[in-house]
Amino acid sequence: MKLNKKDKHTLQDDYSKALLRYAGTAPSQEQIKKISESLSTLIGSEHIDVNVVEDKSIGGGFIVKCGNYEFDWSDAGRTQQLRDELVDTAPGDDFPDSHIISILKDKVVNFDLEIQDREVGNIMWVGDGIANVKGIGHAFYGEIIQFEDGTKGMVQDIRDDHIGCILFGSDEKLRQGSRAARTYKQAGIPVGEQFVGRVINALGAPIDGKGEIKETAYRPIEQQAPGIVDRQSVKEPMETGILSIDSMFPIGRGQRELIIGDRQTGKTSIATDTIMNQKGKDVICIYVAIGQKESTIAKLVQSFTVSGAMDYTIIVNAGAAEPAPLQYIAPYAGTALAEYFMYEGKDVLIVYDDLSKHAVAYRALSLLLERSPGREAYPGDVFYLHSRLLERSSKLSDALGGGSITALPIIETQAGDVSAYIPTNVISITDGQIYLEQDLFFEGMRPAVNVGLSVSRVGSAAQTKAMKKAAGSIRIDLAQYREMAVFTQFSSDLDEITKAQLAHGSVLMELLKQPLGQPFKMWEMVITLVVVGAGIMDDIPVKKVNEFRAAMLRYYEENEKDIITEINGSKNMDEDLKKRIIHAASLYKGRFDN
């Protein structure tokens, strides 16, 4: 490697002196002179004094250190190189044992030793998952740094006189003065088809006890988002199976829809129900859990396994007990996996549960790295933290295979305050939000979607025409109902029109209630909406509405198969089809005994 004079460190490194440690025979004056000369040309210094000491610990050979550079030609270094090489070639579990010997033999015989020149530094300070390292001057942002006990870290902060690394392992064995070396590699995770159905940590290592995962490729965790030319607009629906969302706030493939609400308002449930609804729809789902309890994740894996959703899902878990650096990189790692599938032309759904905890982990890191705190003690770049993450969700152009990443980030609010720092940031980054309200949740309205404050800015382009037509005025009807219900709650004598509107509204509200794990099919939603829109259910007692719907849908399935096929197949819903749906419903209603 030829170093540039300009590259030279100026602060703590002295490039006029070198230290040569040897074991075995001491080098002759002639050899030392040669080493000094070749170092001068390599590093670009005028003259280098070589100090020679004996060090038996290196086994044999020698190590020369000059400034931050180290040239390793020792037995210890060579053994380490061979060891690394062998570890890299370790075959997977399904590899026949008889082949291993020949592979190892081949590796050992053909082992090509290189003089390792590396930039090494020392830890100045370590603690709380952070290490400040002095002496590494050229490391780039996001580079992996290897510490002497094998722990890896990532460069997160670059200062004049030191770099700050976040550690991906325990810092127990690291001390002030411990060695740290550059790896020249950008932080990334292994990716591939075999990750589907597995639970992994933020570094891509399996944590479900089901053995190793053979990766297809390695992707950097931070990656530039696709540009405008590489994208196309959102046009296919990502069906959640939840009536209140698919009818009023439709989500398209490639969209970013925020799920926001107080704690315990059903945020996770919406995301997991959506994942379960992707069965048979050729979508790969990635659920990134940040700062969640292990028990919650265990329950989730269990329910995904039972429902069969695990067959197309990857869970990336950085639990509450994991150090902040892992919680911080988890969503980027999950996105790297998602990108692998997107560039293969597949549709991916990724859930970030939740980004409030992610921001908190990043705040902890930043404060430890001594970045100045801003609003709510978050560092100044906290907006960029989420914008660069969510910008990577997209619908790729057909030339790039037409794959997509749909993102459902989750944000937890405090006492319904959507105007706090992190919520407003993420609201402005995403293409809409589903706002869940605690009061509605306690009233029994589940999912507790607040119709007034929720919005989907691009999804209606992806809604099927039949659904769009069927959903019609439901949002306005509901908003009117909520308003009127407040005004009329104390008045006794209402006129007939108001009474009818109230009855219609309460039926609508009842129909939007949906238990967990019971997604609706598209045709079921369309029929429900058309029938309720025609006012056919308005005189059914509210308590019986759901029973009526269930029985009615069964009736269609048994007797009106044509209608269902037409809804599923047609691009549009014409008046004739609508009339037939309504006619069938009236026929059925005559039989329903309320």
Residues designated catalytic: 457
Q: Which of 198, 267, 346, 504 binds ligand ATP (CB under 6 A)?
A: 267
Nearer to ligand ATP, 64 or 436 (CB): 436
Q: Which of 265, 277, 317, 413 binds ligand ATP (CB under 6 A)?
A: 265
Q: How far is the CB of 227 from ligand ATP (least distance, A)?
A: 34
- Tokens (6 digits) for 396: 């790729």
Site string for ligand ATP, 439-468 (x = CB under 6 A): -------xx---------------------
Asked if 516 interacts with ligand ATP (CB under 6 A), we say yes
Tell me how far apart the alpha carbons of residues 249 and 240 are, in angstroms, rounded to a whole number: 10
| 37: Cβ contacts below 8 Å, ≥ 6 apart | none
Q: How far is the CB of 514 from ligand ATP (least distance, A)?
A: 6
The alpha carbon of 405 is separated from its chain's Cα centroid by a whole number of angstroms, namely: 10
Comparing CA positions, the residue from 29, 21, 110, 98 lying closest to residue 57 is 21
DSSP conformation letters of 66-135 = ETTEEEEEEHHHHHHHHHHHHHHH---TTS-HHHHHHHHHHHHHT-----EEEEEEEEEEEETTEEEEES
Stretch that binds ligand ATP, among 336-344, 393-401, 511-519, 521-529 (CB under 6 A): 511-519
Q: In sequence order, what E strands does 174-300 have?
A: 179-186, 188-191, 199-200, 217-220, 258-261, 283-290
- Residue at 438: amino acid letter: Q
Q: Which of residues 367-426 bind ligand ATP (CB under 6 A)?
A: 412
Nearer to Mg ion, 147 or 352 (CB): 352
Q: Which of residues 225-254 bind ligand ATP (CB under 6 A)?
A: none
Asked if 346 interacts with ligand ATP (CB under 6 A), we say no
Asked if 358 interacts with ligand ATP (CB under 6 A), we say no
Which of ligand ATP, Mg ion, none lies near 79, with the C-beta cut-off 5 to 8 A by kind? none
- DSSP letter (8 states) at residue 500: H
Q: How far is the CB of 551 from ligand ATP (least distance, A)?
A: 21
Q: Find out whether 254 and 397 touch, Cβ atoms under 8 Å.
A: no
Q: How far is the CB of 541 from ligand ATP (least distance, A)?
A: 21
Which of ligand ATP, Mg ion, none lies near 412, with the C-beta cut-off 5 to 8 A by kind? ligand ATP
Q: Which of residues 157-176 bind ligand ATP (CB under 6 A)?
A: none
Q: How far is the CB of 275 from ligand ATP (least distance, A)?
A: 12
Q: How far is the CB of 338 from Mg ion (least distance, A)?
A: 20
Tell me how far apart the alpha carbons of residues 507 and 519 are, in angstroms, rounded to a whole number: 19
Comparing CA positions, the residue from 246, 251, 293 lying closest to residue 268 is 293
Nearer to ligand ATP, 72 or 510 (CB): 510
**How crowded is residue 113: how many other Cβ atoms within 10 Å of its Cβ?**
11
Nearer to ligand ATP, 243 or 531 (CB): 243
Q: How far is the CB of 428 from ligand ATP (least distance, A)?
A: 22
Residue nearest to Mg ion (CB): 268
Distances (CA, A) of 387 to 256, 337, 380, 486: 11, 18, 13, 39
Nearer to Mg ion, 132 or 268 (CB): 268
Size of the site for ligand ATP (CB under 6 A): 14
Q: How far is the CB of 574 from ligand ATP (least distance, A)?
A: 34
Q: Which of 514, 525, 537, 545 binds ligand ATP (CB under 6 A)?
A: 514
Nearer to ligand ATP, 122 or 244 (CB): 244
CA contacts within 13 A on the Cβ side of 547 = 8
Which of ligand ATP, Mg ion, none lies near 446, with the C-beta cut-off 5 to 8 A by kind? ligand ATP
Nearer to Mg ion, 264 or 559 (CB): 264
Q: Which of 268, 313, 317, 454 binds ligand ATP (CB under 6 A)?
A: 268
- Tokens (6 digits) for 147: 């510490």
- Tokens (6 digits) for 559: 């007797």
Which of ligand ATP, Mg ion, none lies near 454, with the C-beta cut-off 5 to 8 A by kind? none
Tell me how far apart the alpha carbons of residues 136 and 153 are, in angstroms, rounded to a whole number: 13
Angle at 255 between CA 249 and CA 258, to 5 degrees: 60
Q: Which of residues 120-159 bind ligand ATP (CB under 6 A)?
A: none
- Residue 376's Cβ-count burial label (10 Å; 0-12, 13-18, 19+) is exposed
Provide the binding-site residues for Mg ion, judged by CB under 5 A: 268
| Separate counts of helices (H) and strands (E) for the chain | 18, 20
Nearer to ligand ATP, 263 or 465 (CB): 263
Q: Which of 51, 264, 302, 559 binds ligand ATP (CB under 6 A)?
A: 264
Q: Are strands 49-54 and 17-23 parallel, antiparallel or unpaired?
A: parallel
Q: How far is the CB of 350 from ligand ATP (least distance, A)?
A: 17
Q: How far is the CB of 382 from ligand ATP (least distance, A)?
A: 21
Tell me how far apart the alpha carbons of residues 423 and 416 are, in angstroms, rounded to a whole number: 10
Nearer to ligand ATP, 19 or 453 (CB): 453
Please tell me whether the peptide bond between 325 and the residue prior to it is cis, using omega within 30 degrees of 0: no
Which of ligand ATP, Mg ion, none lies near 447, with the C-beta cut-off 5 to 8 A by kind? ligand ATP
| 117: Cβ contacts below 8 Å, ≥ 6 apart | 1, 69, 70, 71, 72
Distances (CA, A) of 255 to 7, 107, 416, 433: 44, 48, 24, 11
Q: Which of 81, 232, 269, 460 binds ligand ATP (CB under 6 A)?
A: 269
Q: Which spans of this chain sit near ligand ATP (rule: CB under 6 A)?
A: 261, 263-269, 412, 446-447, 514-516
